[in-house]
Amino acid sequence: MKNITEMLKGVLEGCVLEIISRGETYGYEITQHLRNLGFTDVVEGTVYTITMRLEKNNLVDIEKKPSTMGPPRKFYTLNAAGQEQLEIFWEKWGFISSKINELNTKNKGEIQ
Amino acid sequence: MKNITEMLKGVLEGCVLEIISRGETYGYEITQHLRNLGFTDVVEGTVYTITMRLEKNNLVDIEKKPSTMGPPRKFYTLNAAGQEQLEIFWEKWGFISSKINELNTKNKGEIQ
DNA sequence: ACTAGTATATAGTAACGCATAGTAGTATCG
DNA sequence: CGATACTACTATGCGTTACTATATACTAGT
């Protein structure tokens, strides 16, 4: 899927929050996870800016651990504020997606 | 619903395309339509930038008609390119929303 | 030594929605 | 006629976000 950049705005961060909420993970792994999910064009730099933002906003706890396969990894876990933010994200997503889908189905009904 | 600005990026334009596809309409009416749909904070300036973009990209045909309640209105209708763009929008939306919902339900299953 | 894979870091860019403000036309009322 | 209110479009600058490109660092295999 190409040129979905703009549509991902505000959504990717929520996805990252969700992924972190399942258990501690690090930037590179988050990127792989997103790619496996279907967002194949997401690159490390993008995820990095998101995790930096989460750090800055104090939504995650951080622990640095050595890796046998490269430089040390920065593991993230959601804290209470992060959990709250995640819930807010799903509320927003639910709101918007319901409205958009409403718009879509309404149209289908009128045209045919 | 507050602070959904970022999540609307790339989505609002699709909504406007969809609204125009139902029949010729003008900026002010599109704004009202979006507000009725639930996007209560959408302002005229936002819709204007979108319609200007649609014009610039030759996705709409334009007809100016006098109004009994103010200055003449610029009525927009989708042309072939606009229709195509609208279909692409719904494809993108379908792709992203399915992925996000997948992420959401997966989580629900793991937590409980 | 060189390459490839893993992993974090950062500067710069473009797009989008928004706030704000301005312009202009019509209707109404004193 | 003049003032006001409402409708409708135009214009500009801003903040946020994702992406690009690049740099750095560590390990393992050849």
Domain spans of chain A, in order of start: 7-111
Contact criterion met (CB below 8 Å) for A65 and A73: yes
Cβ partners under 8 Å of residue A36, min gap 6: none
Residue nearest to nucleotide D28 (CA to C1'): A69
Average pLDDT, chain A: 90
Instruction: Write down how long chain B is.
Output: 112
Rounded average pLDDT over B95-112: 76
Pairwise CB contact (< 8 Å): A18 & B107: yes
CATH match for A7-111 among 3.30.460.20, 3.30.2130.30, 1.10.3720.10, 1.10.10.10: 1.10.10.10
Contact criterion met (CB below 8 Å) for A59 and A79: yes
Rounded average pLDDT over A53-74: 91
3 state DSSP class of A26: coil
The type of residue at B99 is K
Least confident interval from A49-58, A97-106, B17-26 = A97-106
Indicate if CB(A10) is under 7 A from strand C: no
Q: Between A66 and A85, where is the model more confident?
A: A85
Q: Which of A3, A9, A91 sits opposite B6 (nearest CB)?
A: A9
Q: A25 pLDDT band (50/70/90 cuts)?
A: very high
The integer distance in angstroms from the CA atom of A37 to the C1' atom of C29 is 64
pLDDT of residue A69: 83
CATH match for B5-86 among 3.30.450.20, 3.50.50.60, 1.10.260.40, 1.10.10.10: 1.10.10.10
Q: B84 pLDDT band (50/70/90 cuts)?
A: very high
Q: How many helices (H) and strands (E) does chain B have?
A: 5, 2
pLDDT of residue B112: 42
Percent of chain A with pLDDT over 70: 94
Average pLDDT, chain B: 89
Q: B108 pLDDT band (50/70/90 cuts)?
A: low
Q: Between B66 and A48, where is the model more confident?
A: A48
The integer distance in angstroms from the CA atom of A70 to the C1' atom of D25 is 8
Contacts of B99 in chain A (CB under 8 A): 37-39
Residues with CB under 7 A from strand D: A 4-5, 8-13, 41-46, 48-50, 53, 68-72; B 6, 26-29, 44-45, 48-49, 51-52, 67, 69-71, 73-74
A45: the nucleotide nearest its CA (via C1') is: D19
pLDDT of residue A70: 81
pLDDT, tens digit, 9 for 90 and up, residues B3-54? 899 999 999 999 999 999 999 999 999 999 999 998 988 988 899 999 999 9
Distance between CA atoms of residues B71 and B52, nearest Å: 18
Pairwise CB contact (< 8 Å): A92 & B5: no
The integer distance in angstroms from the CA atom of A53 to the C1' atom of D14 is 20
